[in-house]
Amino acid sequence: MKKKERAALIVDALKKEYPEGICSLQYPKPHELLFAVRLSAQCTDERVNQVTPALYARFPTLEAFAQADVHEVEELIHSCGFFRAKAKDIVGAAQMLLKDFGGKVPDNMDDLLKLPGVGRKTANLILGDIYNAPGVVIADTHCIRIAGRLGLTDGTKDPGKVEEQLRKVLPPEESNNFCHRLVLHGRAVCTARVPYCEKCVLRPWCGTFNKK
């Protein structure tokens, strides 16, 4: 079976298991998703969702973030870890969005990567969730791990290579939600330490399971 055919079967299985393939970060506005993703680095989405309501209440607009005292932002996001770098990036990104992009989150990779603290993973998530761009691949740890186990990649841990390899086999219109579903599956079933293969819907295509 070719990789594209296997990928299509895996996509269908995940859609049935997780009908709502959506990002678990909560955000009312595009720039708030951008900041939430920055906060999620080395932190759980659950923790970020606990922190952001107070953060967004204190700074309800992009202008408010741009004028924020970085130290106050640090206090509000302290429990997310790496709070100094994250606070600096959030305020800096707000200022750049207003100064260079008319207060709008960019809709293309090149401009998104100009923002402080934004890498390809964040940029792809924005493009997929905010702009519904086809073909985006969010190569986070769950995606990298599970795609390797399923043989959709060559097992590389390099996010850039994972993104490139998955783009070649995934249906473009499904790739964004596919990555979100892998996150859900990675948390619930295909965990890093002990995958629960006995209840995994992806067993027919999994190299890890079939080696047992």
3-class SS of residue 112: helix
Q: According to the model, what pLDDT value does residue 212 have?
A: 55
How many other C-beta atoms lie within 10 A of the C-beta of residue 166? 25
In this structure, the dihedral spanned by the alpha carbons of residues 129, 134, 140 and 146, taken in order and rounded to 10 degrees, is 120
Write down the pTM of the prediction.
Answer: 0.92
What are the angstrom distances between the C-alpha of 171 and each of 11, 23, 113?
A: 9, 19, 25
pLDDT in tens, 156-207: 999 999 999 999 999 999 999 999 999 999 999 999 998 999 999 999 999 7
**CATH, domain 3-22+136-210, list 1.10.1670.10, 3.40.30.10, 1.10.10.10, 3.40.50.10490:** 1.10.1670.10
121 flagged as catalytic: yes
Domain boundaries, the chain: 3-22+136-210, 30-129
Q: In the chain, what percentage of residues exceed pLDDT 70? A: 99
86, 89, 121, 129: which one is catalytic?
A: 121
Render pLDDT for 17-26 as a digit per residue (tens, 0 to 9).
Answer: 999 888 999 9
Residue 74 has pLDDT above 90, yes or no: yes
Share of the chain above pLDDT 90, in %: 94
Say yes or no to pLDDT of 120 above 80. Answer: yes
Structure tokens that stand for 64 in this block: 């408010």
The pLDDT, as a whole number, for residue 51 is 98
For 96, residues 6+ apart whose C-beta sits below 8 A from its C-beta are 114, 115, 116
Exposed, middle or buried by CB within 10 Å (0-12, 13-18, 19+), for 103? middle
30-129 CATH = 1.10.340.30
Give the integer Cα–Cα distance in Å for 73 and 71: 5
Q: Which residues, at least 6 apart from 9, have a Cβ–Cβ distance to it below 8 Å?
A: 204, 205
Provide the 8-state DSSP code for 25.
S
Return the closest-CA partner of residue 84 out of 50, 115, 38, 46. Answer: 38
- The label of the residue with tokens 């070649």 reads 168
What average pLDDT does the segment 10-39 reach? 95
Instruction: Work out the mean pLDDT of the chain and round it to a whole number.
Output: 95
Annotated catalytic residue, options 86, 89, 129, 140 = 140
Residue 208 banded pLDDT, cuts 50, 70, 90: confident
